[in-house]
C-alpha cells in the first residue's frame, strides 16, 4: 500500500479562446495569466477550499486505514498478493477478478470456457453427491 502524499493541486482549464483573449495573451502573457488567475480565484474560492479540505480528509482517512492493521483492506491485500504469487493449479481467472468487489460473490465470467465447465461441475459436486447418497 504505497502512496505518496502529494501537495494539493487544482486543475484549471482555459475556456476556448476568442479573438480578444488571444490578443490579450499575445500582448502580455504574464499580465493575462495574472488577471485570469485573480478572476478564477475570486470566482472559485469556495470550490477550491472544498477541494483542498477534501484532499486533506481523504489523506487523513488513508493514513488511518494504513495504521489500523485489523482493517479488512489489509486482509484483502494479503489474499490478493497470495493469489498472484501462488504456483498452484487454479482455474484460469485473472487475480484482479478475485481482488475487487468483495461482496457476496465473485463473477466467473472471465474464466475460460473449458475451465468454467469444470468449475460449475465442481461447484455442483456436493449437490450431486448428496442426491446420490439420498437415493441409495
Q: Supply the pLDDT for residue 36.
A: 92
**Residue 1 above 50 pLDDT?**
no
Q: What is the per-residue pLDDT for 34?
A: 94
- State the pTM of this model: 0.47
Nearest to 97 by CA among 85, 81, 111, 87: 111
- Tell me the C-alpha to C-alpha distance, in Å, between residue 48 and each of 33, 38, 41: 18, 13, 8
Q: What is the pLDDT of residues 19-29, one digit of tens each?
A: 999 999 999 99
Q: How confident is the model over 55-108, as pLDDT tens digits?
A: 889 889 988 988 998 888 888 788 777 777 776 656 566 666 655 555 555 666
Q: What is the rounded CA–CA span in Å between residue 112 and residue 118?
A: 10
User: What percentage of the chain exceeds 70 in pLDDT?
Assistant: 66
Pairwise CA distance, residues 136 & 127, whole Å: 15
Nearest CA-CA partner of 73 in 61, 65, 81:
65
Q: What percent of the chain stands above pLDDT 90?
A: 25
Q: What is the DSSP letter of 109?
A: T
Mean pLDDT rounded to a whole number for the chain: 76
Amino acid at each position: 500500500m504505497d502512496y505518496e502524499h502529494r501537495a494539493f493541486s487544482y486543475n484549471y482549464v482555459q475556456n476556448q479562446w476568442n479573438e480578444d483573449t488571444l490578443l490579450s495573451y499575445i500582448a502580455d502573457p504574464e499580465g493575462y495569466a495574472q488577471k485570469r488567475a485573480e478572476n478564477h480565484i475570486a470566482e472559485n474560492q469556495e470550490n477550491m477550499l472544498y477541494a483542498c479540505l477534501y484532499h486533506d480528509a481523504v489523506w487523513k482517512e488513508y493514513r488511518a486505514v494504513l495504521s489500523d492493521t485489523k482493517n479488512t483492506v489489509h486482509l484483502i491485500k494479503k489474499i490478493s498478493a497470495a493469489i498472484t504469487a501462488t504456483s498452484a493449479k487454479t482455474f484460469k481467472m485473472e487475480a484482479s477478478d478475485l481482488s475487487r468487489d468483495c461482496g457476496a460473490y465473485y463473477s466467473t465470467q472471465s474464466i475460460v470456457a473449458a475451465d468454467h465447465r469444470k468449475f460449475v461441475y465442481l461447484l455442483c459436486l456436493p449437490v450431486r453427491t448428496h442426491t446420490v447418497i439420498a437415493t441409495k
